[in-house]
Structure 1
């Protein structure tokens, strides 16, 4: 329990320690010149070129009317794109200046940092809605990340910038973040309460706010109060993970929240000489392995809920965890992770890209296990042969419909072949004002009608923790991985279910393996209609007894019994995070009856 770190114990640790900062200030030219040599000429030149481009651009404007777009038309991008561009350019300029050390980027850095301090709100429009109330600043993801970025900018370059900037940074971080953090109790992201479990916000906001305080707060007693409050909050955050370390938010959102939690854990150890350590918690080691256990293929991950399928993992984060927790496979995964973009979004990750380096050892590529199982959230990932890039992968979930970043997807599954999602999770929809509002489950990606689940009597799954699956059986065998779920309680009373049992299995008894889906329904009040749906981005060709799903290179044949009727629904331009996508939903319908069954056999073609 992190609550053992009360304010008195933390203050004692703070007063007896010296802050061993993770990066040297830019005027330590010996350290930065050595780093430039270590990262190499190409990497150094790329950062300096990025700084040159950023220096030649004006500060992106952020007018009030742009902020109000979210409230008026539900659009996030209008404000958030230039907002994030400011911070990305600040990171490029700061790193470029530190690596080059000639002073030519200092004025553009001053202009950008001052402009960020001048912003009326650091909170995203989606989290505030109205224009800023200076007497009640909203402490959200954007505010927390901005606070840490400015604090680390002040640490590395404050001595070379106008002294007024350092004073301004301290004033704004305290007004917008530290004082609200200590004095207000309206931040719902801080603690779990009945009916609400904390999520990635808890990791990001604590990481940003408390991380900035470690740099900027000079009063040990006040800093101790901040850290003690974070310890209580992070207890709830770590408690949100599955007993096996999983997160229902998915690997990409895990990387965001746990990434900032890792930054804070490192800063706390450095500020207290290791006396305050989050890494002593057993769940840390378990959850650090979450991306290892949810990998589908190189760079792609299980994307249940609002998670992204591709990317999302920061190589520097994985490399740090590998070293700190002695998990060699995380370094192997870090080498395979795309480091070209993620690390350059905000200054904290840009710096850690340089200092939390990816090593060439241990040798070899990471290969996941044949089978992974998360007991608490009922996720099963089964792989025909992890060493074969063309092999089948099946992922299926139970759970309930009030999970973090919830989609109504109890019983959903995905099937990959050759690195392609032939039975797909739509994943994260485009975020608008409807995404987290009353219309959330009218969005196809969030509705059970946008997932590969049964549809009894035409009914969709409702939202709420009461709508859940019961794990009947889970088996991991050499020849077969199997998950059996009772889904009756995932549907409303109008579905008229006495039972709805779903069996999903990956079989290894053939050279390329095959996937079985068996849905069996028993209706309570008389004959009913059972349909089962598969969601895909692939081309669909229906023939008697089989449906062919054709991706770019891989093909999957879905075999079905003669009595089953097949219908294909086309959804054009579905708004997903990656842009508009055409989606096809293949529905298999059994003859009406008091009992009904649909058995599908998915075979590589």
Structure 2
């Protein structure tokens, strides 16, 4: 083989590998700033904190002025809060019954109580809430672990749910608690020391032992992404956990060398997340995960920028802006409906304050105006949560958001070419469809599915996901009905539904903006046993009518094709049409080709019931004949 041919082959193979994993070697942080550069710009101690000391009462009174009443009311309610004990059997429940909630609920309630006390004391500054804050600090430092029962096994040698002695790992909850307690240490160390210096000393020791030391000593926590395995995801855990570790390092760690090494390690780790995300910025996990993925990336980058006197700042990078604007583009309207592929909920919209800050950082008027639009619809008082940093930034954001003119993005379509998400808006229609592959983060086997709303109300839907349990993130995940392609707006081909795995992906994905047409071949999402050679599905929006067309070829089929649609409202079936949403719309089909059946799916899971009510509906069109090739068409009008 000639050398030039060999070079071309190597380049081609490299290109194919890149496209299959979609990782990019941008390395926008550690690739542009080495550790020596970080050392030169990292601010000493906590000089970077853009907030007054707790003792500066006039400054805090001004900051809390718009919301002081509600903050103090919540703090007063927490004055008599009884700290809940998390029992060994609460951790064991995850192994025994699959329940996560039994230990997560009381732990989160303890954290929220401490957050309310923190903000109330900051707002009033008279010591009224200090003893109860100390009780909370003491409670958390007496716990065996800050991690959740569902997360502990992945990081312990025992692979069991009960915490192992002297083993601390950083998961989402442990990180959140470490971050929250670091802010308590920063603001209230002088006041706690007046009571007894042992309190702050104990708190500092536990933050270092539970968060900082495990992070520095381990590279095997999967979310760090330092030891990536084939097909491993890099999802919202990465920026979320790294943000929490960075907070602890900047607020608590007083050894300059340890702090420098830790901060730089977070930069190398967060690079892995940015490299993983496609440059179009779409969130594979859906809008309800945006605040934990792109939103946490904002928090991390903002904190890093502050700590380096704005010298390490990448908010001007296109991928960072694209990740931010995704949340505004994915909003449908009405009762805060959003595009909800994967595990995302169909209701959300996002946090107006966070969206505004992100928009301000990346200079996106769409984001800032969208944030103001959401703020008009939502209760935007200070949130009681484990996320102290966001609460503090909210105080600075309130006046800016109030002065912003609200509006929604006006573009008629948004095409995420790499992630293969399409949003179309025409008149009162909002249509969204996806290609992609069946190993995206929080994946459902849903290549080629769509949702369809009119007048900001759902018609054809994606159910989303129920309450998390042991099955949700196990090898039994696809036993859950919401994860299966047969419960999306997709066909069952020759008795087979789509399969999980990176090799199951869309082919020949195209978007024709001029004709509002989206098409793809979904055959690659189905197993070989389906016999499907091609199944080209197209969606075309024509004057607010949606035409759905399937052109297919199947090798030696033995079972009829079944075309499924998932509906928000109970349909009515006539001879050749389906009446939708109480007669407002209809779905036309060829009665000569199909037998139609309607199934009611009761929503007894609270997470799904809160979105859809008591039931949703699936209508299935079963082909009357088994054919190896043909064309099916449906029209929504």
- TM bucket (normalised to shorter chain) is over 0.9
Once the two structures are superposed, residues 375-406 of structure 1 have per-residue CA deviations (whole angstroms, 9 ceiling, x without a partner) of 11110011113xxxxx1111100001011111
Which whole-Å CA distance do the structure 2 matches of 1:499 and 1:116 have between them?
57
Question: 1:17, 1:53 → 2: CA distance?
Answer: 35
Cα deviation, 1:276-304, whole Å, max 9, x if unaligned, reads: 22424331111111111211115322110
Matched, 1:49 2:86: no
Residue 65 (1) aligns with residue 71 (2): no
- Residue aligning to 1:34: 62
Q: CA deviation at 1:339?
A: 4.5
Q: Is residue 355–residue 368 contact of structure 2 (8 Å, CA) maintained in 1?
A: yes
Quote the residue 1:380 is aligned against.
Answer: 422
TM-score (normalizing by structure 1): 0.93
Give the distance between the partners of 2:132 and 2:117, measured in 1 at CA.
8
How far is the alpha carbon of 1:16 from its aligned partner? 6.9
Matched, 1:522 2:541: no
Tell me the alpha carbon deviations over residues 452-489 of structure 1, each in whole angstroms, 9 at most, x when there is no partner.
Answer: 11111121111001111113421112xx4211010111
2:23 equivalent to 1:23: no
Distance 1:208 1:288, change over 3 A: same
Q: Secondary structure at the match of 1:410?
A: coil
1:128–1:16: structure 2 CA closer, same or farther, 3 Å change rule?
closer
1:296-320 deviation per Cα after TM superposition (whole angstroms, max 9, x unaligned): 1153221100112222612221121
Q: Distance in 2 between matches of 1:262 and 1:364?
A: 22
> Where does residue 219 of structure 2 map in the other structure?
185
Whether contact under 8 Å (1:415, 1:423) holds in the other structure is: yes
Aligned equivalent of 1:224, options 256, 260, 270:
260
Secondary structure at the aligned position of 2:222 is classed as coil
1:189 positional shift: 0.7
- Deviation track 1:481-526 (CA, whole Å, cap 9, x = no partner) reads 2110101110011211121011012222xxxx11121112211225
1:355 is aligned to 396
Q: Which secondary structure does the structure 1 equivalent of 2:127 belong to?
A: coil
Contact 1:426 1:576 survives alignment (8 Å):
no
Is the partner of 2:257 in helix, strand or coil? helix
* 1:320-335 mapped onto 2 (5 Å cutoff): 320-335=357-372
- Which residue, out of 144, 147, 161, partners 1:120? 144
Question: Which residue does 2:571 correspond to in 1?
Answer: 540
Query: Could you tell which deviates more after superposition, 260-269 or 77-86?
Result: 260-269
1:549 maps onto 2:589 in alignment: no
Tell me how many residue pairs correspond in the alignment. 586
Aligned: 1:317 with 2:386: no
> What is the CA distance between 1:557 and its match in structure 2?
0.8
Provide the residue aligned with 1:84 in structure 2: 108
8 Å CA contact retained: 1:521, 1:595:
yes
Structure-to-structure mapping, 1:401-480, within 5 angstroms: 401-477=438-514, 480=515
Match of 1:571 among 587, 590, 601: 601
- The answer (yes or no) to whether the contact 2:137–2:181 under 8 Å persists in 1 is yes
Q: Residues 312 and 342 of structure 1 are in contact (CA less than 8 Å); yes or no, is this contact kept in structure 2? A: no
| Normalised TM-score (structure 2) | 0.88
Match for residue 585 of structure 1? 618
Q: Secondary structure at the match of 1:5?
A: coil
Select 1:12's aligned residue among 40, 45, 70: 40
State the distance in 2 between where 1:22 and 1:578 align: 40
What do residues 429-462 of structure 1 show as CA deviations (whole Å, max 9, x unaligned)? 2100010112100101111122111111121111
Checking the alignment, whether the CA contact within 8 Å between 2:495 and 2:559 is kept in structure 1 is: no
CA contact (8 A) 1:242 1:374 kept: no
Q: Distance in 2 between matches of 1:273 and 1:421?
A: 47
CA-to-aligned-CA distance 1:59-110 (integer Å, 9 cap, x gap): 1221221122111111111111111111111111111111122221111111
User: How big is the shift at 1:19?
Assistant: 2.6
In structure 2, the CA distance between the partners of 1:290 and 1:56, relative to structure 1 (3 Å rule), is same
Structure 1, unaligned stretches of length 5 or more?
Answer: 386-390
1:202 is matched with 238
Q: Does 1:344 align with 2:387?
A: no
- 1:23–1:355 Cα contact (<8 Å) kept: no
Task: Let me know the Cα RMSD of the aligned residues.
Answer: 2.0
Which residue does the alignment assign to 2:181? Answer: 150
Tell me whether 71-80 or 554-563 shows the greater mean CA deviation: 554-563
Partner of 1:488: 523
For 1:134 and 1:457, the matched residues in 2 are separated by 53
- Please name the residue that 1:369 is paired with: 411
Look up the match of 1:388.
none
Residues of 2 paired with 1:310 and 1:98: CA distance? 33
Q: Spell out structure 1 runs of 4+ moving beyond 6 A.
A: none
Q: Is the 8 A contact 2:493 2:560 kept in 1?
A: yes
Distance in 2, Cα, partners of 1:380 & 1:77: 35
Task: For residue 224 of structure 2, give the secondary structure of its aligned residue in structure 1.
Answer: coil
Structure 1 equivalent of residue 4 of structure 2: none
State the shift of 1:340 in Å.
4.5
Give the alignment of 1:233-252 within 5 angstroms: 233-252=269-288
Of 371-380 and 185-194, the range deviating more from structure 2: 185-194
The structural deviation recorded for 1:420 is 2.1
TM-aligned CA distance change 1:238 to 1:323, over 3 Å: same
Instruction: Pick from 559, 564, 567 the counterpart of residue 588 of structure 2.
Output: 559
